[in-house]
Amino acid sequence: MAGEIVDNKGRGEAVWEWPAIHPEGRRFGLIAISVSLFFLLILDWEIIGWPLLLLSAGIFAFFRDPERVVPQSDAAIISPADGTVMLIGEVEPPLELQIDDGSGFTGLASGPVTRVSIFMSVFDVHINRTPVGGTVRRVVYIPGRFMSAELDKASEENERQHILVERTDGLKLGFTQIAGLVARRIVPFVKPGDMLAKGQRVGLIRFGSRVDVYLPAGTDPKVMIGQTVIAGETVIAEVGQRGLIEGIAQ
């Protein structure tokens, strides 16, 4: 049940439900179904109709929008995307998140921070969520190329959208939606000035892509390369917490 309070002491209830389909995807699925039925029922071309019908099911699955249980700890920074952690490294935040944009609100400070990059395959949920709660200070769209989102340089060359969120305590966190080889559109749900709860939906990227998170200074990730994360649920870092985490792939 959406909005229900749960904890790690047994409070709450788990009920399996079919995930909702985001409205952005319903029209694509309905178009695919209509075309498949045309080939099946009108033209009797099963060799085309049945594959198209399977494709329509895949489209609905791509735009699924399941509910998530969002950790509410003030220190927790949660994953903005479903997928696999592909890159972790020290980088300068994007200039678009640093420079004075004339809004009267400062951006991120200059200097290296840890970037966590999460790759979403076409099989992952593509609804993105904010890693922290607060006020949206910037939404900056940048047109670009459509190279593989797994490449490091995709963060600087691909079509992308930067989002900057400021918490009530003044902490700022930036993250970037990056279009990939197949993705052709970033769809925003938010604009500057919007108030967001942690884990709230902020947008989607169609058909395979990546999200970069720029952790606050003095904060190390709690995830590792190759780890699978879940948007709105997986804690990828805790503000101000440092320390090396090691794992064994098996």
Task: Using the 3D structure, point to which of 19, 46, 70 is the last residue of a domain.
Answer: 70
Active site residue 209: yes
Query: pLDDT at position 1, please?
Result: 44
- Quick: pLDDT tens for 143-182: 876 665 566 666 676 789 999 999 999 999 999 999 866 6
Distance CA 220, CA 243 (A): 6
User: What are the backbone angles phi and psi of residue 37, rounded to the nearest 5°?
Assistant: -65, -35
Q: Which residue has the tokens 């409205």?
A: 23
Identify whether residues 64 and 86 lie together within a single domain.
no
- Print the SS3 string covering 127-192: EEECCCCEEEEEEEEECCECCCCCCCCHHHHECEEEEEEECCCCCEEEEEEEECCCCCCEEECCCC
In a domain, 245, yes or no: no
| Ranges 28-37, 150-159, 189-198: which has the least confidence | 150-159
Task: Provide the pLDDT confidence category of residue 212 given band limits of 50, 70 and 90.
Answer: very high
Residues 65 and 80 in one domain: no
Tally of CB atoms within 10 A around 177: 27
- pLDDT at residue 140 is higher than 80: yes
What average pLDDT does the segment 101-109 reach?
Answer: 92
> Which structural domain, as residue segments, surrounds residue 200?
76-238
User: What are the b/e assignments for 193-232, b being 16+ CB within 10 Å?
Assistant: ebebebbbbbbbbbbbbbbbbbbbeebebbbeeebebbbb
Judge if 52 and 85 occupy the same domain. Answer: no
Residue 248 lies in a domain: no
| Most confident option among 57-61, 208-212, 228-232 | 228-232
Distance in angstroms (rounded) separating the CA atoms of residues 120 and 128? 10
Do residues 58 and 104 share a domain? Answer: no
Asked if residue 71 lies in contact with residue 235, where contact means CB atoms within 8 angstroms, the answer is yes
For the stretch 33-76, pLDDT in tens is 898 988 888 888 888 888 888 988 888 888 899 999 999 999 99
Total tally of structural domains belonging to the chain: 2
> Which residue type does 244 have?
L
Mean pLDDT taken over the chain = 89
Q: Are residues 63 and 90 in the same domain?
A: no
Q: State the pTM of this model.
A: 0.87
Q: Which of 41, 70, 99 is a domain's end point?
A: 70
pLDDT of 203 over the 60 cut:
yes
Mode of pairing for the β-strands spanning 83-91 and 228-229: antiparallel
Note whether 145 and 29 are same-domain residues.
no
Look at residue 6 and tell me whether its pLDDT is greater than 90: no
How far apart are alpha carbons 61 and 55 in whole angstroms? 10
Whether 92 and 157 share a structural domain: yes
